[in-house]
Amino acid sequence: MIINATASAKPVELLEALRGERVEAAVLQRTMIVTGASSGIGAALATQAAAANFAVLLVARRAERLAQIAQSIRAAGGTCEVLVADVLAAEAPTRIVETALRAFGRIDILVNNAGTGAPGTLLEQSDAAIAMQWELHVAAPLRITRAALPHVRAVTGGVAFVGSGLARVPAPGFGAYCVAKAGVRAAAAQLRRELRREGIAVSYIDPGAVDTEFSEASGMQRSSGGFAARPERVAANILRGLERRRARINAVPWQTAFVALAELLPALADAAMSRIVDAPAPPAQAPAPAPGPAPSPAAAPEPVPELQAADEFERALAPVARRMERVKLSPDFLRAALVPETTVTLHDLAMRWAGMPNKNERAAMHEVLDALAVAGYLSPNGDETWLVVRGAGEQR
């Protein structure tokens, strides 16, 4: 707003003009939505964006973490709101967009950052594990982007997707994760070209190897020796790229250069990946039976429904099996908890299992419940609440 002050202008008129300018400036404050904002890159990006005068909506599942980050942002003079939500929930896109509009009135930048890995070789991972990785990293961000797009379009804003170097150089033992991140990379390029004429910036972010809890939670070895970048540094480079509306944001350029080199030298990349990533060991093979006459087809036993149901339940938990082992969460506890047509909550289950669960135990329980939801045992029924659709001993 331009104010033309003349000698004849009355003080009251000037005051009203200045008030109007301040109101307009407040209305025009840039806004950003960050999913997966309770830790790591998401938390660092939300904090730095707020310091750069963005009004930020922090979206994640862990209410306590979000509250702590929001308190820190507000104490530093920043503007933010929090939304406790699981991006996989059917109502998540609508809730995210409505919360942002109610709080800030506009959406300038959407950063699809939420995600986690699932260990397992590609062909040994269950359908549920593969589906969850695709839903979390590709389908859910696209649904959220679809819901936010009219409002991003209104301000000629931008959308960003957080990918991974593993999209270009896959790692052994994380099959579904690598495939999903390759899908993220392709989706970002596709949207960038489809929305280019509208002036909407679509950014693909390669964060590099970052020193966060993500690797440990996903079953990877946490990088050491200075290889992993600090999340604050990564967030600063991401924020700079978003403000400059870059199509590709390489948060740690030297790591991206190594990834490009690995693409050119696949044999060396294969050897390097086997050292960086702790791939799950293949299942033990039963000893081959002694030679003998082949059994008659008529003598083959009929499949036992109870065993089939048990196998199906174990396959549903396969993506989080290692996580369960680390926190000593027994499948038998979960079997007993799955009473059809009852409601389970993260808080109640975690309390029954661990007494006073710590943050790591709560996060592990949430991942397990998400896996059971993808497999069709549970149905999301609100924040950290699920309806039990079928018991562990029931087949589809």
Residue 213 tokens read as 């809890």
Strands 343-345 and 385-388: antiparallel
Length of the chain: 396
Contact predicate 207/234, CB 8 Å: yes
Nearest in space to 264 (alpha carbons), one of 163, 167, 168: 168
Residue 85 neighbours by CB under 8 Å, 6+ apart: 59, 60, 61, 92, 95, 96, 383
Strand ranges in 251-373 using DSSP code E only, listed in sequence order: 343-345
Contact predicate 324/368, CB 8 Å: yes
- Based on the residue annotation, tell me whether 177 is a catalytic residue of this protein: yes
Determine the Cα–Cα distance for residues 50 and 44; give it in Å rounded to an integer.
10
Active-site option among 104, 161, 174, 177: 177
Q: In a 3-state reduction of DSSP, which class is residue 25?
A: helix
Determine the Cα–Cα distance for residues 128 and 76; give it in Å rounded to an integer.
42
> Which string of DSSP letters, residue by residue, matches 148-215?
HHHHHHHTT-EEEEE--GGGTS--TTBHHHHHHHHHHHHHHHHHHHHHGGGT-EEEEEE--SB-SSHH
Determine the Cα–Cα distance for residues 4 and 375; give it in Å rounded to an integer.
65
Residues with catalytic function: 177
